[in-house]
Amino acid sequence: MDTMTPSERSERMSRVRSVDTQPELTVRKLMFAMGYRYRLHDGRLPGKPDIVLHSRRKIIFVHGCFWHRHRNCPLARIPKSRKTFWMSKLEGNRLRDGRVKAALRRAGWSVATVWECQLTNIGRLENRLRRFMESGSN
């Protein structure tokens, strides 16, 4: 059973951001400090990617572990109430992410995903992003 009234739940959910989230801002700041310049949320591309480096044909998605179902991650738990609704919604997000990434790769883009839980080790994330940016392909 939900501990909030429907209006309280609606208010809480309306505060969930889709852009400029704290994980996204952290990755953007790191990429900028590494010397990379990028565009944000290019609506001309499938999935409106979080970070787009057109000249390098590179895309970075910054995903919340809960909303995008990061496998084997404790942050990707299912709420205790309305499990059927949440399973369907979150699995739909995961499947859509796969379709979007496949479409981008078919169009010649290299795609990386940074998960919210990976922000706990910035040094490791920086190394991973540098390898991605310096790689020649997907």
Q: What is the pLDDT of residue 13?
A: 62
* Superfamily (CATH) of domain 6-129: VSR Endonuclease (3.40.960.10)
Tens of pLDDT, residue by residue over 59-86, are 999 999 998 999 999 998 888 888 899 8
Pairing state between β 58-63 and 110-115: parallel
Q: SS3 of 58, please?
A: strand
Tokens of 83: 């499990």
Residues constituting the chain: 138
Q: Residue type at 42?
A: D
Local confidence band at 15 (pLDDT 50, 70, 90 cut-offs): low
Give the chain's mean pLDDT.
Answer: 90
- Read off the pTM: 0.85
Encoding tokens for residue 129?
């992003």
pLDDT beyond 50 at 126 = yes
| Edge-to-edge order in the sheet of strand 110-115 | 39-40, 51-53, 58-63, 110-115
Q: How far apart are CA 82 and CA 104, in angstroms?
A: 33
Identity at 98, one-letter amino acid code? G
The set of residues, in sequence order, having a beta carbon less than 8 Å from that of 84 and lying 6+ positions away, is none
Task: Give the number of other Cβ atoms within 10 Å of residue 18's Cβ.
Answer: 11
Average pLDDT over every residue of 51-55: 96
> Which of residues 14 and 78 earns the better pLDDT score?
78
